[in-house]
Structures are given as structure tokens and as C-alpha cells.
Amino acid sequence: MQIFGVDIGGSGIKGAPVDLERGDLAQERHKVLTPRPATPDGVADGVREVVRHFDWRGPVGVTFPGVVTGGTTVRTAANVDKAWIGVDAAALLSERLDGLPVTVLNDADAAGVAEMRGGAGRGRTGTVIMLTFGTGIGSALFTDGHLVPNTELGHLELHGHDAEKRASTKAKEDHDLSWEHWARRVQKYLTHVEMLFSPELFIIGGGISRKAHKFLPLIEGVRAQMIPAELRNNAGIVGAAMAASAAGAAPVLAVAESTEGWAEPEGLA
């Protein structure tokens, strides 16, 4: 079974059909630049361009870089235009996609769901935190596989600023930080999150995860295990498709609840 997933990011909008049985992209993803300003209409046009690239005619799951309640309404918009706040994103995108059924959820939550079902977090219990480093820092919190949605831990205060202003990939690029300097910032952030939640595992995602070997070994003093995401920057697309399936846009995939199969994470069912 395939469902289409779209990942809206601060710099790009990317999507592809997802093979739910494999938990991975069924075709190579297509990407367009996120418009500036990233208004609802502009972003919706970008989503339409990505979906139409594949001539897709079925359900669509979409991630959003902010708090989304009930799979529809945007509550925060840190890295896109503030005009998104209060928008029924599912209705807007469905209208722009000629009535296709659309499910919307927080971007890091989507990535976390994908990693917990078929990636680095598969079969893990206890407290697991997925962190996505990109334009900002997204977070997904799980306890025994149950998702606590919309945590937005990238906005925790760190030295008087939102943590993502100091420790995101964008901060590294904007300030031309060395891997060592940036790793120290990430270390301070992780120890702060660890103090608050005491996770057994940090899953490090976002595009930077493919270079995890350059910074994870430099991080000290974090007791939790730290591992890179397996689905890398495709996790949001995969998780969006899983959310669309779980929301009833298509039949939910029946799987065994064990480490040998996939189980629907609570919070999406």
C-alpha cells in the first residue's frame, strides 16, 4: 500500500509516495524551495507542485513546522509566516489539492513516528526523544512507544535564547561554526533536555544526521544513548504518510505489535 507524504520545512518542501509495508519512499522524492515569505497560500502552492509532480490522486499526509492540533489547526509557526496561526491547514491543502484527503501533523512528530516504527527507535521502550536539526530543532517525545505530540523542545531557553537559535543546523551555517564548536552547543542543549526528561535514548535526525560521525563522538556528559536516525531526512515524509493512514484517510496497515513487525504508535490512531 502506498500513501503520499509531504514534509514542509523552513527551506524546502519535499514529498514522495511512501510504501507503508517497507516504511520507505516508493519513488525518489521531489523538492521545491519553501517560498519567502512562507505564507499559507505560497506554501500550499508548493505542496501542490510536489504532489502534482507525481500525478498523485490519493490520500496525502503533510508535516508542518509548528504545533498542529487535531490534525488540522496550526497553533504556532516559528519558521514560517505567522499568518499560518489559526489556519485549518488540512482544509486549505485539501482544497489546493482538488479535494484529496489531507492529514497534517507536526514535522518532528512525523519523523519520530517513522523512526519508532521502522527506524532507529524500532522496538525501544522507556523514554525516547527524537530531535531533528535543521532550520530549527524539532522534537518528538515517546514513552513506551506512545507519542506525546507537539512538544516543541527546540524552543527551550538556552543562555537566554531559544535553543534552536544556538544549536540548530542553521545556526551552525549562519555563524560558520566548526564541528567542535557546534557540538559543544548541541551538548549543552542535550544535557538540558536530559535534565528535564531523563530519556534512555536520543535519536538525532534531520539532514545533518548523515554526518553524525562528525559531531556525535565530540559530545560528552550525556548519559542517554545517542544514535543517528536511520531514515535520515526522509523520516518526515514517511511519518506523514503513516499518519494519513492511521487517521483513516486509508485503511490502517495491520501489523504485529512486536520488534519483528510494526505497531501503530498511540497518538496517531
Domains, the chain, in order of start with CATH, read: 2-106+233-249 (3.30.420.40), 110-231 (3.30.420.40)
Q: pLDDT by residue (tens digit) across 15-36? A: 999 999 999 999 999 999 999 9
How many residues are present in the chain? Answer: 269
Q: pLDDT by residue (tens digit) across 207-250? A: 899 999 999 999 999 999 999 999 988 999 999 999 999 987 44
Q: What is the pLDDT of residue 258?
A: 32
Mapping DSSP to helix (H, G, I), strand (E, B) and coil, where does residue 162 land?
strand
Q: pLDDT by residue (tens digit) across 65-83? A: 999 998 899 999 988 999 9
Q: pLDDT by residue (tens digit) across 157-202? A: 988 999 999 999 999 999 999 999 999 999 999 999 999 999 999 9
Q: pLDDT by residue (tens digit) across 98-147? A: 999 999 999 999 999 999 999 999 999 999 999 999 989 999 999 999 99
Q: What does the alpha-carbon distance between residue 185 and residue 164 come to, in Å, rounded to a whole number? A: 10
DSSP 219-266: --S--SEEEE-SSGGGHHHHHHHHHHIIIIISPPPP--SSTTS--PPT
